[in-house]
Amino acid sequence: MKTGRRLEKPLFEVRNSRVHGHGVFALRRIRKGTSVVEYLGDRVSHDEANSRYEDKDPRDGHTFLFTVDAKTVIDAGIEGNEARFINHGCDPNCQAVDIGKRIFIEALRTIQPGEELAYDYGIGRDDDDPPDVDLIYACRCGAQDCRGSMLEARKKKSPRKKKSPGKRKSPRKKAKSKRKAVRKRLR
């Protein structure tokens, strides 16, 4: 007896990745805007997440933790699903979207069968990070514009304000005005 429903092929599968360990690969075309999978795992406080991994080697950049907000972290190492195997990419085809404190991985563009899914982890930087933190969280995505790290991009130093290209002083007048300024400070 036919039911009229055909079984759809799954969207993705987990298998070995050239980027890192396991990865998630499209089994069929995934259209832009498609919610691919929810990032699941044990929902805990930041303190609990830190205590769970306090014995972890600080040089090990491998993590299944996903920060939801200032109070909540998803630990996909416990009760997690396939979403934990989606690797970081500097030129990602997916993004993480927070909908009511639930995290969904959504396609940023149409993804073709066989393509590995990736999103930018954008792991935050801390003032007390070790000097080699970018090596610890090294990126292996292979993108043309790879920033070399799974950490958020370093903030660029704001450029010094340039003087407006108004009237230029001759070098002699510049030196004279500098001397005046120095004299004023000495008084």
At 52-69, the pLDDT tens digits run 988 887 777 677 999 999
Indicate whether 118 pLDDT > 50.
Answer: yes
C-beta of residue 26 within 8 angstroms of C-beta of residue 37: no
Q: Strands, E, within 124-181: which ranges?
A: none
pLDDT greater than 70 at residue 186:
no
For residues 87-92, give the mean pLDDT: 96
How far is it, in rounded angstroms, from Cα 3 to Cα 136?
Answer: 53
Helices (H), 81-187: 133-136, 171-186
Q: Span 152-167, mean pLDDT?
A: 63
Which alpha helices (DSSP H) does 3-144 contain, by range? 46-52, 133-136
The model's pTM is 0.76
Q: Of the spans 99-113, 121-135, 169-183, which averages the highest pLDDT?
A: 99-113
Work out the end-to-end distance of the chain between its first and last CA atoms, rounded to an integer number of angstroms. 102
Determine what percent of the chain is predicted with pLDDT higher than 90. Answer: 59
Q: pLDDT tens digits, residue range 77-89?
A: 999 999 999 999 9
Beta partners for residue 97, in sequence order: 104
Confidence of residue 159 (pLDDT cuts 50, 70, 90): low
pLDDT at 106 over 80: yes
Q: What is the pLDDT of residue 161?
A: 56
* Mean of pLDDT over the chain: 83
From the candidate CATH numbers 3.30.70.270, 3.40.50.2000, 1.10.300.10, 2.170.270.10, the one assigned to the domain spanning 12-121: 2.170.270.10
Looking at per-residue pLDDT, the higher value among 62 and 100 belongs to 100
Q: Would you say how long the chain is, in residues? A: 187
pLDDT at 172 over 50: no
